[in-house]
Amino acid sequence: MSKFNIPIARTSLSDEEISSVLEPLKSGWLVQGPLVEDFQNKWSKFTGSKNSIAVTSCTSALHLSLASLGFKEGDEAIVPAFTWISTANVVEHLGGRVEFCDIDLDTFNIDINKIEEKITHKTKAILPVHLFGLSADMDPILEIAKKYNLWVVEDAACGFGSFYKGKHVGTLGDTGCFSFHPRKAITTGEGGMITTHSDSIASKLRCLRDHGAELSDLQRHLGPRPYLLSNHPEAGYNQRMTDIQAALGSMQMNRADEIIKERKSIAKIYDEEFKNLSFLQIPKESEGYSHGYQSYPCLFMPDEVKENNIDETNSKRNKWMEKLALEGISTRPATHAVHMLEYYSKKYGIKPEDFPNSHAANNCSISFPLFHGLKIDEQSYVIEKVLEFKN
Ligand SMILES: *Cc1c(COP(=O)(O)O)cnc(C)c1O
C-alpha cells in the first residue's frame, strides 16, 4: 500500500451545497424553475455575458448553439483535432462535416496559422476550444471568422475562471459552451451553460432547449393564463437543466472566486517545482491570458518530441503512469486526439500523422492531480514522486 491514494480529480462540495438540493425537492418544482433562473443570473454576472442558458451538458450546449445559428446538413465546421470528442460529435449530429485543424503544442489549443487553409465555401463555423482552462488565441480567430463570415462557437467546457485579455472565455464568440461534469471546476453532476450577448440567439436557444416552446413552464405558470399550453414554433429538443442541479451550481457560484484562486495556487506550486525539469513542459500562461486550470496538462518529453519518436515516448509515458499509479498517484493523458479515434479515422480516412501535433499531444501528454480540496501533503507527495523520474 502506498502512503496516499490521490485521484486525478475529486469532487468536494460543502455541507451547505449538498443540502441545497433539498430545497427544490421540498418545494416540488424540480425542472428548470426559479433555481435555474438564479444560476443563470449568477453565471451572467460572473462571466459578463448578457444571457446565460442552462442546459443538460456542454455537449448539448454545443449542439444547441450550432442548431440555433442555423448550422445544417452539408455545412462544415473547423474543430481542433485535440479536444474532447463531443466538440466534433455535435457537427456530425447535425449532418455536418468536421474539418480538423492541428494544434499548437505549446498551448494544446488550435493553431491559428492553420485555420484559414481549412476554409471552403461550405465552412460555416469555427469551434475554438479553451482546452484545460487556457483560452485559445481569440483575436485572430475572430478576425478570420469576420473575414469569411463564419460563426464562432466557443467550447469553454473547461473555461470557468479563464480570461482572454480581461474577458471571460465564452463571451467572445457568438456563443460560449460550459460543462458542469464532475471533472470541471464547478459541477452539477451533469450540466452545461450557454452564454451569448445576442438576445435573438438567446431566445432561439431557450426555445430549442425546451421542446421548441415559445414560453417556458415557469413563464406560463407565472403568466396570466397558466392553464393554456404554449405555442411551439420549432421542433425543439429537451435539454433542460433540473432545479436540483441548479441549486448545486448556484451555491458553488457563491464561492466562485475562492475556487478559482485555489486552483491557481495549486498550479503555481507545480509550476515552481516543475519549471526546470527537462522531461516536462508545463502549462503556459502568456501575457493577456489568465489560466483557469481545469487541469494541469504537461507534455512529457524525455527526448525532444519528434514525429519519429512519438510512439517510443508514448510507451515511456505509459510505463511512468503505471509506476505513479502503483505509488497511489493518478495521472491521465491530457485528453484524446479525435482524429485518431475509430469513428473519425474510419469515416474520414485520417492517419495519426495527418495532424502531427495532436498526435504528439495524444501520445505524450500527462495531467497531474489538481482539484479543489487537494491537500498540501498530497501535492508534496505528487511532486516528490514526479521529481524521482529517471529517463
Ligand atoms: C468536458 C468537455 C466536454 C463535454 O462536456 P459534457 O458536459 O460532459 O458534455 C466538451 N469539450 C471539452 C473540451 C471538454 O473538456
Q: Which residues pair with 110 in a beta bridge?
A: 103
pLDDT of residue 319: 97
Beta strand pairing call for 365-368 and 296-300: antiparallel
Ligand 1: atom nearest CA of 335 is 15
pLDDT of residue 310: 95
Q: Quick one: 220 exposed, middle or buried, by C-beta within 10 A (0-12, 13-18, 19+)? A: middle
Reading the block at residue 125, the C-alpha cell is 463555423
pLDDT of residue 391: 83
The set of residues, in sequence order, having a beta carbon less than 8 Å from that of 25 and lying 6+ positions away, is 244
Per the CB < 8 A criterion, the answer to whether 274 and 299 are in contact is no
- Using the mean position of ligand 1's atoms as its centre, give its distance from the Cα of residue 22 in Å: 27
Does residue 1 carry a pLDDT above 90? Answer: no
Per-residue pLDDT of 79-130, as tens digits, reads 999 999 999 999 999 999 999 999 999 999 999 999 999 999 999 999 999 9
Q: What is the residue-averaged pLDDT of the chain?
A: 97
Q: Is the CB of 359 under 6 A from ligand 1?
A: no
Q: Is the CB of 248 under 6 A from ligand 1?
A: no
pTM of the model: 0.97
Say how far apart CA 334 and CA 130 lie, in whole Å. 13
- Using the mean position of ligand 1's atoms as its centre, give its distance from the Cα of residue 350 in Å: 23
Length of the chain: 391
Q: Which residues pair with 266 in a beta bridge?
A: none
Q: Is the CB of 157 under 6 A from ligand 1?
A: yes
The set of residues, in sequence order, having a beta carbon less than 8 Å from that of 22 and lying 6+ positions away, is none
Per-residue pLDDT of 285-340, as tens digits, reads 999 999 999 999 999 999 988 888 999 999 999 999 999 999 999 999 999 999 99
Q: What are phi and psi of 372, to 5 degrees?
A: -60, 125
Per the CB < 8 A criterion, the answer to whether 333 and 366 are in contact is yes
Choosing from 89, 90, 179 the residue with most ligand 1 atoms within 8 A of its CB, the one to mutate for a pocket test is 179
pLDDT of residue 304: 87
- Using the mean position of ligand 1's atoms as its centre, give its distance from the Cα of residue 379 in Å: 26
Q: Is the CB of 84 under 6 A from ligand 1?
A: yes
Query: What residue owns the CA closest to ligand 1's atom 5?
Result: 58
The proportion of the chain whose per-residue pLDDT surpasses 90, expressed as a percent, equals: 97
Residue 197, SS3? coil
pLDDT-based confidence at residue 185 (cuts at 50, 70, 90)? very high
Say how far apart CA 59 and CA 260 lie, in whole Å. 23
Per-residue pLDDT of 344-382, as tens digits, reads 999 999 999 999 999 999 999 999 999 999 999 999 999
Does residue 384 carry a pLDDT above 80? Answer: yes
pLDDT of residue 305: 86
Sheet holding 289-290, edge to edge: 167-168, 163-164, 289-290
pLDDT of residue 2: 83
pLDDT-based confidence at residue 283 (cuts at 50, 70, 90)? very high
Per-residue pLDDT of 207-217, as tens digits, reads 999 999 999 99
Per-residue pLDDT of 3-25, as tens digits, reads 899 999 999 999 999 999 999 99
Going through the chain in order, the beta strands assigned E by DSSP cover 51-55, 76-80, 97-101, 123-126, 151-155, 163-164, 167-168, 175-179, 192-196, 280-281, 289-290, 296-300, 365-368
The proportion of the chain whose per-residue pLDDT surpasses 70, expressed as a percent, equals: 100
